[in-house]
Amino acid sequence: MSGADIGTAGSARRRGEVALAGRAGDVPEVRKALEDPDPRVRVGALGALVRLGEAGPDDLAPLLADLDPRVRRDACELASRVPGSPVEPLLDDPDHRVVEAAAHAVGELGLHGATGRLSELASSHPDPLCRESAVAAIGALGDVGGLDAVLGALGDVPAVRRRAVVALAAFEGPEVEAALRRHLDDRDWQVRQAAAEVLGLSGVEPR
């Protein structure tokens, strides 16, 4: 067996051990695996802690700063279930997938202080998935400081427009209603449908 095969087998064994420790509720054993050399083992350990209700911000912090972007992304996804997780700095991560996951976590955690940065991402991030996630997070927060960014996103690609329409459900006012009514005639049928649902209308058919 080659060194690579041995390493792969060892990693698989350690992942299995973490899973067993998690099912047994062995928190100390699971927590030790947060420092495993294999990224998949580290993420598996964090996931087990979250499922056990034992994960805290101090457990998340090292993985959110991990050198492997896959670990940072998965840690962001798990962080959305751990109040106090320091995810806001990852809105500036160089990896787009991490930014997308961080924006979602910010919205889930109710981090209103991030509205300004989310607005910037919604308006200018080069990746449409990141813009979409930022718009969704602003909607989840319902912070009026992000309303202009959501309205601006109504001119984006269809997926972002749909997300912006849904996000407008968190806001009120004539400007919001007017924007929703304009998008009853959007060229994308899913945007039209979303606008109708937010307005409480029915009978808007794809064309």
pLDDT at 133 over 60: yes
- In angstroms, the CA 102 to CA 106 distance is 6
**Residue 5 — very low, low, confident or very high, per pLDDT cuts 50/70/90?**
very low
Q: What is the per-residue pLDDT across 79-130, written as a single tens digit (0 to 9) for each? A: 999 999 999 999 999 999 999 999 999 999 999 999 999 999 999 999 999 9
CB-count exposure of residue 127 (10 Å: 0-12, 13-18, 19+): middle
pLDDT at 203 over 80: no
Region of poorest pLDDT, from 1-10, 33-42, 43-52:
1-10
Report, as an integer, the average pLDDT of 173-192: 96
- 76 and 87 Cβ atoms separated by less than 8 Å: yes
Most trustworthy range by pLDDT among 3-7, 9-13, 90-94: 90-94
pLDDT at 9 over 80: no
In a domain? residue 36:
no
In a domain? residue 123:
yes
Give percent of the chain with pLDDT exceeding 90: 86
Q: Tokens 């700063």 belong to which residue? A: 65
In a domain? residue 109:
yes
Spatial neighbors of 51 by CB under 8 A, at least 6 apart, are 22
Helices within 25-172 (DSSP H only): 27-32, 39-52, 57-64, 69-79, 96-109, 115-124, 128-141, 147-153, 158-167
Structural domain count of the chain? 1
Give the global pTM.
0.88
Q: What is the per-residue pLDDT across 48-76, written as a single tens digit (0 to 9) for each? A: 999 999 999 999 999 999 999 999 999 99
pLDDT at 3 over 50: no
The domain that holds 65 is classified in CATH as 1.25.10.10
Could you tell me what percentage of the chain is helix, strand and coil, using 3-state DSSP and rounding each to the nearest 5?
A: 75, 0, 25
Between 158-167 and 189-199, two packed helices, what is the crossing angle to 10 degrees?
A: 0
In a domain? residue 3:
no
**Residue 177 — very low, low, confident or very high, per pLDDT cuts 50/70/90?**
very high
Print the domain residue range for 64: 56-199
Stated as kind and residue range, the H or E segment containing 207 is: none
In a domain? residue 27:
no
